Amino acid sequence: MAETKSRHPHRAHGREVALLALCHLESYRPEERARALELFWAHVPAESGDGGQELRGWLADPKVVEFARRLLAVSSERAAEIDGAIEATSRSWRLARMDRVDRNVLRLVGAESLGLSETPRAVIVSEAVRLAARYGSERSAPFVNGVAQALAGKLRGEAREES
């Protein structure tokens, strides 16, 4: 796996952990998700090729875990608002029809835009595209880029930049 070039690798890794957790939680009914999240933290999912070694390393860093938990808390607390904003922004794609990775990357964009005002919009979008390229399909990065740009601006009350 490529090492992140971020000035804040704990944030990049925290986003990645949060994405994996959100994808994991989708397999459970809403009333089961708190327990499912406990299972996620207790049993590290393994990626192909490394048996979960890299992820275990990230989870050993308290800064990574704290950042991931912050993102997950905002994602959970403001889920309806975030999902509504994604649907309103994506126009031609309903949330349920989006690829699981794309949908959850966009949820992270929403969570970080609403709950972590210290993160610049450009960083949020760039990290979303990185995650989409790594975990999504070949079409994920361009799709996420377009929606994330507009979504982050909308949730922060910024004027949409026209291309």
Residue type, 153: G
163: DSSP letter: -
Is the pTM here over 0.75, yes or no?
yes
pLDDT, average across residues 90-104: 91
DSSP letter string, 125-156:
HHHHHHHHHHHS-TTHHHHHHHHHHHHHHHHT
Sign for the CA dihedral angle at 81, 130, 39, 117 comes to: negative
> How many DSSP H helices and E strands does the chain contain?
8, 0
pLDDT tens-digit readout, 22-42: 999 999 998 999 999 998 888
pLDDT at 8: 72
* pLDDT band with cut points at 50, 70 and 90 for residue 47: low
52 residue type, one letter? G
Q: Output the CATH code of domain 9-156.
A: 1.10.940.10
Token pair 């949060």 in the structure block, residue:
18
pLDDT one-digit tens code per residue, 78-89? 999 999 999 999
DSSP code at position 97: G
C-beta neighbour count of 146 within 10 angstroms: 16
Calpha distance 111→107 (Å, rounded)? 6
Q: Are 78 and 57 in contact (CB under 8 A)?
A: no
Instruction: Name the residue ranges covered by the structural domains of the chain.
Output: 9-156
